[in-house]
Amino acid sequence: MDISTIVKAAKEYLPDLNEKRLVSAYDFAKKAHDGQKRSDGSPYSTHPLATAKILTEFKVDEDTLITAFLHDVPEDTKYTLKDIEKMFGKKVSCLVEGVTKLSKVQYKHDMAERQIESLKRLFFHSAKDLRIILVKLADRLHNMRTLQYLPIRGKRIRIAKESLEIYAPIANLLGIWEIKSEMEDLCFEFLYPDDFKRTKQLVEESSLRNDEVIHKTVRKIKISLTKHNIKAEVRARKKNLYSIFKKMLHTGKTFHDIYDLVALRIIVEDIDACYRALGVVHQTFRPKHKRVKDYIAVPKVNGYQSLHTTVFGVDGTITEFQIRTYEMHLEAEYGIAAHYFYNASRGRVNGNRVPSIFKKHAEWAKKVLAIQKEVQTGYDFVENLKFDIFQDRIFVFTPQGDVIDLPYGANAVDFAYHIHSDVGNEAANAEINGERLPLTTQLNTGDTIKINRSKSSGGPHRGWLILVKTGLARTKIKEYFKKESSQNNYAAGLRVLKRELQLFGKNELKKLPEIREKEVLEKFDVDSIEALMTGIGEGNITVRNVIHEFYTSEEILGKPTSKSGLKDDDLLSKRRFDHAMAIVLGNEELKEKADKNSLCLYRVEINIICHDRVGLLKDIALTLSSLGVNIHEIKMATTANTVDRHMVVIIDVCDLEHLEEALRALTVVRDVVKIYKSS
Ligand code: MN
């Protein structure tokens, strides 16, 4: 096989193919991988070529084929994504980058089912474009086809297991049945060679999979259905070896008790037609006793619906029919993806409810392209998956490619403590996707994080206690400070408190009346102000609680500047919702609080010292608006040094908690150096 095979195959379904561009992509890959060999000894370029060949069977577009040619270039050659972008454009370089990223999804031998589940999700999550997944699946399929040449047995087994547990289910989920079943059978052969041989032999000896018998059966049933005026589609699909083996294993049936070696499916328009079609099947072939199952009236636990019947078919061959509507078929075949595919194709086929995806399997690829269009109209399957499944978790990578699962909003400090408490305690800075950034930088899914350590880092910062998202990091930081001398903790506590006071526009801790002070100290379970400081330094006492005890919210926020603030409805909707909930729940205390909140706004002036950059103002504005904070005015003030900018932002907040939220959120915006409320 050479490039002309691909060109020829692609031209058949891509009339506008830019042949020159496609060929130049292949030539480039060949040059880039020059001198590299596959483990079977052939030149490396045979691999991208074979990957592209697999993809032409799914009728993918030109960019996807080019991506297949280039998918190993950035990782394995001296050429970079930049080079690819220069030559083939941004779209291709994004696809290649996506495939490269997916390659980092790491599987380990002894992974628990839960971890495998999260890897599968990660797989979907990191692909911005379904074409990326498609290329990755084709890449893996070719690697599986050539797996026997890999010299190390352990590695062969790992790759086969990974394919079976991650890649095949993903292919199945996307309804790419050809890849799923070939991949499964290849894995089956590597992982359980004896069972594979036995199953294969049984199937070969069985007449049930005889092509001629299948063909005759389909024809006969089609004629009968037409005679009875039932519009239906009949299709036969051979069960792959691994599925047969799994069925024997899970049901304890022997091979001869399995009747759906070939699944004969009759797909009709509605439930009524299902039952009529069942009647037609029974009139055409004699049903086997007690083998009719009505999963339409009584669906399986997983929601599966169909009518099943086993009959004595052509030449007395025992044959199983599955009768279902298009919706049921989609649900059964595509699972989670069904809703997307169904919605996407509904109502488009001349008022006919038959989604075009069933016309032929090649249509699948068009769907993938259709998805790209859907993205532009705002409905994105992958996005929706993300939204449903990943709302509150992020997935990030270690430099070794291990996946770390953290709560949304976690920063590099959380990551460092997740690795090891020593890593956290000695963390100096973080390299996020190669860029050196502060440890408090919030992480996003797909980020690769390297923590740079230094023995002289001076240990964790007490300020981290407020910024970390994981309990683990908080506990470890506290543990660290417990070991410090009380003198150091006292000094540190004082520093932390000072900084916090400054944040709220105060210079010194207010002196409380003696009785009140006693009360407060008792509350924190300490006997002096000094001990209170030490407690803060140790991390046992939260500085914000101290602020709340010493100050009323009026002392910080002043008098409300406007009653009701009803103009900015949207921004305050979250608060309104709380209010409404309080009323619905009939919680008096909550209602009183919410009443106060929703009726008053406090105008507060905050100062932001920052390194200026493109987009910083936007980030600040977004951060504030996402919290429902109204921005009244932004002014620029001059600073002594020319590097930093000083912004004065006047905002409206509902209460002290709301202000705190805003200040806290702004602290972690990139390139913000310092935040404080004007006194
Ligand atoms: Mn590859």
The verdict on 32 and 175 lying in the same domain is: yes
Evaluate whether residue 356 is within a structural domain.
no
The verdict on 443 and 488 lying in the same domain is: no
pLDDT at 360: 34
SS (HEC) of 213-279: HHHHHHHHHHHHHHHCCCCEEEEEEECCHHHHHHHHHHHCCCHHHCCCCEEEEEEECCHHHHHHHHH
The verdict on 167 and 36 lying in the same domain is: yes
> Is 633 considered catalytic here?
no
> How many structural domains is the chain composed of?
5
Q: What's the Cα-to-Cα distance from 19 to each of 6, 7, 45, 58, 352, rounded to whole Å?
A: 10, 7, 18, 18, 37
The verdict on 92 and 235 lying in the same domain is: no
Environment class of residue 375 by beta-carbon count within 10 Å: exposed (0-12), middle (13-18) or buried (19+)? middle
The one catalytic residue in 2, 19, 27, 76 is: 76
- Which letter, b or e, does each residue of 500-534 get, where b requires 16 or more Cβ atoms within 10 Å of its Cβ? bbebbbbeebeebeeeebeebbeebebeeeebbbb
Structure tokens that stand for 559 in this block: 């008098």
Ligand 1 centroid, distance to 100 Cα (angstroms): 9
pLDDT at 424: 93
pLDDT digits (tens, 9 = 90+) for 428-473: 999 998 888 889 888 887 788 999 998 887 788 888 888 888 888 8
pLDDT at 326: 81
pLDDT at 191: 92
Which of 551, 579, 598 is where one domain is finished?
551
Evaluate whether residue 373 is within a structural domain.
no
Which of 461, 480, 499 is where one domain is finished?
480
Ligand 1 centroid, distance to 142 Cα (angstroms): 8
- Beta strand 318-325 with 307-312: parallel, antiparallel or unpaired? antiparallel
Contact 263/310 with Cβ under 8 angstroms?
no
Ligand 1 centroid, distance to 190 Cα (angstroms): 20
pLDDT at 596: 52
Evaluate whether residue 379 is within a structural domain.
no
Evaluate whether residue 367 is within a structural domain.
no
Ligand 1 centroid, distance to 47 Cα (angstroms): 7
Ligand 1 centroid, distance to 66 Cα (angstroms): 13
pLDDT at 571: 40
Ligand 1 centroid, distance to 517 Cα (angstroms): 68
The verdict on 475 and 492 lying in the same domain is: no
The one catalytic residue in 19, 27, 40, 75 is: 75
- pTM for the model stands at 0.53
Q: Give the span between the Cα atoms of 206 and 212, in whole angstroms.
A: 13
Residue 431 is part of which domain span? Answer: 391-480
The verdict on 90 and 142 lying in the same domain is: yes
Which of 453, 480, 507 is where one domain is finished?
480
Ligand 1 centroid, distance to 139 Cα (angstroms): 5
The verdict on 67 and 143 lying in the same domain is: yes
The verdict on 201 and 169 lying in the same domain is: no
Ligand 1 centroid, distance to 46 Cα (angstroms): 10
Q: Give the span between the Cα atoms of 14 and 9, in whole angstroms.
A: 9
pLDDT at 386: 38
> Is 75 considered catalytic here?
yes
The CATH number covering residue 603 comes to 3.30.70.260
H or E stretch at 337: helix 336-345
Q: Which residues place a Cβ less than 5 A from the ion ligand 1?
A: 72, 139
Ligand 1 centroid, distance to 72 Cα (angstroms): 5
pLDDT at 85: 96
Contact 470/485 with Cβ under 8 angstroms?
no
The verdict on 490 and 475 lying in the same domain is: no
pLDDT at 175: 64
The verdict on 448 and 536 lying in the same domain is: no
Evaluate whether residue 342 is within a structural domain.
no
pLDDT along the chain (679 residues), means of 10: 93 89 96 94 95 88 94 94 95 92 76 68 69 90 94 89 88 77 94 92 77 88 95 87 87 78 88 94 89 84 81 86 85 51 35 35 42 40 40 72 78 93 92 88 84 85 84 86 83 89 87 88 88 87 86 83 50 48 50 56 88 84 80 80 83 84 84 87
pLDDT at 284: 93
Structure tokens that stand for 106 in this block: 């790491």
